[in-house]
Amino acid sequence: MLVLISGRGSNMQAMVEAGLPVTAVISNRADAAGLAYAAGRGIATAVVAHGGYATREAFDAALAQAIDGFHPDLVALAGFMRILTSGFVQRYEGRLLNIHPSLLPAFTGLDTHARALAAGVKLHGCTVHFVTAALDHGPIVIQAAVPVFAHDDETRLAARVLAQEHRIYPQAARWFLDGKLVIENGVVRIEGDHPQQLYAP
């Protein structure tokens, strides 16, 4: 499997530490901290810098070329902060996963923790989903919910959610690689008897 990152790469790290077969990590930013971690673990790394391309289509084509050189069975977006073209998404349809820091379909887009606090939700969380052309939509694989406490700030809430991201993303990738994920009418079912949600008080 191949992981796309833009920064810290803690979700990618969680996958490596869970024993998943991460064979390559690609970033759109040369300064992504996660690249050093991956290189230190002997994982192939590459940078496709988005600044070097005039259009989204040109960037996505270069990214796809880099990805395809590794022949990955699964492409996992892990804090990859680029909007992808529909052509790119179609190319990897059915083997492209993303993690989003909210309980989708609530709070698509950016600043999810601040927006959750502003909305006064009492439960927040994270979602792993298959990527489709619509931003932060697509069949949901697994979600984790955490409580929002009265005196939370964005930093505390983000950390509570991130700890759960590190649990559910490796789980989702493992299910995928084991061939357990089935999409039926836009809904993900897992072969066998596995809970697809967790609540972490």
Restricted to residues 6-45, the positions that interact with ligand GAR (CB under 6 A) are 7-11
The distance of closest approach from Cβ of residue 36 to ligand GAR in the complex, given in angstroms and rounded to an integer, is: 13
Per DSSP bridges, beta strands 2-5 and 24-27 are: parallel
Query: Quick one: residue 18, left, alpha or beta (phi over 0 = left, psi -120 to 50 = alpha)?
Result: alpha
Helix-helix angle 154-177:10-17, to 10 degrees: 40
Which one, 168 or 188, has the nearer CB to ligand GAR? Answer: 168
Which one, 72 or 170, has the nearer CB to ligand GAR? Answer: 170
- What backbone phi and psi angles, to 5 degrees, belong to 197? -145, 155
Restricted to residues 45-84, the positions that interact with ligand GAR (CB under 6 A) are 78-79
The distance of closest approach from Cβ of residue 139 to ligand GAR in the complex, given in angstroms and rounded to an integer, is: 17
Which one, 9 or 170, has the nearer CB to ligand GAR? Answer: 9
The one among 100, 124, 129, 160 contacting ligand GAR by CB under 6 A: 100
Which one, 12 or 67, has the nearer CB to ligand GAR? Answer: 12
Peptide bond into 105 cis (omega under 30): yes
Cα 141 to Cα 94, 119, 174, distances in angstroms: 12, 25, 11
Residue 124 a catalytic site member: no
Give the Cβ contact number of residue 104 at 10 Å.
Answer: 20
Instruction: Please choose, out of 3-11, 19-27, 38-46, 68-76, the segment that lies near ligand GAR by the rule CB under 6 A.
Output: 3-11
The distance of closest approach from Cβ of residue 145 to ligand GAR in the complex, given in angstroms and rounded to an integer, is: 15
Q: How far apart are CA 48 and CA 26, in angstroms?
A: 7
> Which residue number places its CB atom closest to ligand GAR?
79
The three-point CA angle 16-93-37 to 5° equals 20
Which residues form the interface with ligand GAR (CB under 6 A)?
5, 7-11, 78-79, 99-101, 162, 165
